A = this chain, B = another copy of it.
Amino acid sequence: MKYFARVEVKLKPGHSDPEGETTGSLLRELGYKIEEVCVSKVYTILLEAQTHSEARNKTEEMCKRLLANPTKDNYAIFIEEAQ
């Protein structure tokens, strides 16, 4: 079976987000009333697994091994069967 795993990785609260700060400054210079900008990253992974829960477990493992930094990142996983 094939599954889409959607992984959203974002900085934990309190960690500095230079890209978000720069984007916020640029938008303010363009005249927008912006209080804050946070930037996160989404990985959409098409993977092979036997079951929905195997897909979730493998994706959880990938986050820990490669996609997220446990010191500074939070992540959320959504699994969906691929057509």
Contact = CB atoms under 8 A, between A and B. Distances in A.
Interface of A: 2, 8, 10, 20, 23-24, 26-27, 30, 32-49, 58, 62, 65-67
Contact of A42 (B33, B41, B65): B41
Contacts of A47: 32-35
A2 B49 CA distance: 43
Top 9 closest A-B pairs, CB basis?
A33-B48, A35-B46, A36-B46, A38-B44, A40-B42, A37-B45, A34-B47, A39-B43, A42-B42
Given A26-B66, A40-B44, A41-B42, 17 more contacts: A8-B42, A10-B42, A23-B67, A27-B62, A32-B47, A33-B47, A33-B48, A33-B49, A34-B45, A34-B46, A35-B46, A36-B45, A37-B43, A37-B46, A39-B41, A39-B42, A39-B44
